């Protein structure tokens, strides 16, 4: 699908920055257009709450138990003996928040970790996209941008390692981490590729029941982990990211079976990378529609942003806000091919 950079930059570029946005941008160290965006989405008061949440975020890693190879209750008891205090995440089976941990060993150096009995996430938000995808046993699943492998691991556990998961990542270097994690955790039902995901329809002669596209993005929802994100992404760079995200989602639409599901997700709170991307696909394809998520505990997708109006079904999508939900910022949307 051809979409021009000029069209995108024309629709998303903002020149007028309010005094409030300039003041908050200077105080917190952001590009002014980003703060203006937050104000336009959630107002000045909640924007200050969001910026404060990024500054004072309480880091709580999460682990996913490899229930295929260990009894999760026994794993919790073993980690407790080592000094880790875990709290079960109620909306994710076999998932736990790490409430506290000892100085040694670290989460990534225990014998249990090295034996592949659990996977470590920096934040629980990463658990949401595979749960929304909700793949069944004995199906074909594609993880388009898979490295370092956390969501691939989760998918394999959801299908109980019974089916076929194709895990792709364009970067061989990142792919090495993906392979290492899949090998460490003892899975068998996977194939790993290192292709440009936009060109996958030309390279892969098969259709998938489920596709996860956790798209490369500005990572604006993860500023608490990387403060450079406050100034890293100019509007011009953002437009290039959006163009790539639209092309990736279009490729996913060509690879999914009729009746199949696609989850589009980003660790960004920017509507340009989320609702806008979904809208561009819906405008061009009449066989893709937004579906109701099986897990909807957070905020809804936006129906409008500045002069842009989005499909009413966008309310079925998920937005996770750091200042509201105490988690990394995320967008997750379930799509189906008619």
Tell me the catalytic residues. Answer: 267
User: How is residue 167 annotated by DSSP?
Assistant: E
Task: Assess contact for 123 and 60: CB atoms under 8 A.
Answer: yes
Neighbours of 88 (CB within 10 A): 13
The tokens for 322 are 């750091």
Phi-psi region of 94 (alpha: psi -120 to 50; beta: other; left: phi over 0): left
Torsion on CA atoms 167, 127, 315, 289, rounded to nearest 10: 20
Looking up tokens 């639209």, which residue turns up?
A: 246
> How are the residues of the chain apportioned to helix, strand and coil, as percentages rounded to the nearest 5?
45, 20, 35
Query: Residue 283, Cα to own-chain centre: how many angstroms?
Result: 23
Q: How far apart are CA 228 and CA 233, in angstroms?
A: 9
Among 140, 149, 154, which residue's Cα sits nearest to residue 168? Answer: 149
Phi, psi at 319, each rounded to 5°: -120, 130
């Amino acid at each position: 699908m051809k979409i021009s950079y000029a069209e995108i930059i024309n629709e998303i570029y903002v020149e007028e920055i309010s005094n409030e946005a300039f003041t908050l941008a200077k105080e917190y160290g952001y590009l002014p257009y980003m703060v203006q965006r937050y104000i336009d989405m959630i107002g000045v008061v909640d924007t200050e709450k969001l910026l404060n949440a990024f500054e004072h975020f309480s880091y709580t890693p999460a682990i996913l138990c490899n229930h295929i190879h260990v009894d999760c209750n026994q794993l919790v008891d073993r980690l407790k003996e080592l000094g880790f205090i875990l709290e079960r995440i109620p909306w994710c089976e076999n998932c736990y928040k790490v409430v506290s941990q000892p100085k040694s060993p670290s989460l990534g150096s225990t014998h249990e970790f090295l034996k592949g009995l659990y996977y470590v996430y920096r934040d629980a938000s990463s658990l949401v996209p595979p749960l929304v995808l909700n793949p069944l046993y004995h199906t074909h699943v594609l993880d388009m941008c898979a490295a370092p492998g956390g969501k691939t691991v989760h998918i394999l556990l959801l299908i109980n390692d019974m089916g076929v998961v194709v895990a792709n990542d364009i970067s061989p270097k990142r792919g090495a981490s993906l392979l290492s994690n899949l090998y460490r955790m003892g899975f068998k039902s996977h194939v790993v590729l290192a292709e440009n995901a936009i060109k996958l329809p030309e390279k892969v002669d098969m259709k998938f029941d489920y596709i996860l596209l956790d798209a490369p993005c500005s990572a604006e929802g993860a500023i608490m982990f990387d403060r450079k994100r406050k100034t890293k992404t100019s509007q011009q760079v953002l437009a290039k990211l959006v163009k790539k995200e639209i092309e990736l989602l279009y490729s996913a639409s060509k690879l999914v079976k009729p009746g199949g599901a696609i989850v589009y997700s980003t660790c960004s709170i920017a509507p340009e990378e989320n609702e806008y991307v979904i809208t561009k696909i819906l405008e061009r394809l009449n066989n893709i529609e937004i579906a109701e998520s099986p897990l909807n505990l957070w905020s809804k997708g936006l129906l409008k942003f500045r002069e842009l109006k989005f499909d009413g079904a966008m309310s079925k999508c998920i937005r996770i806000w750091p200042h509201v939900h105490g988690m990394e910022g995320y967008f997750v949307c379930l799509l189906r091919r008619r």
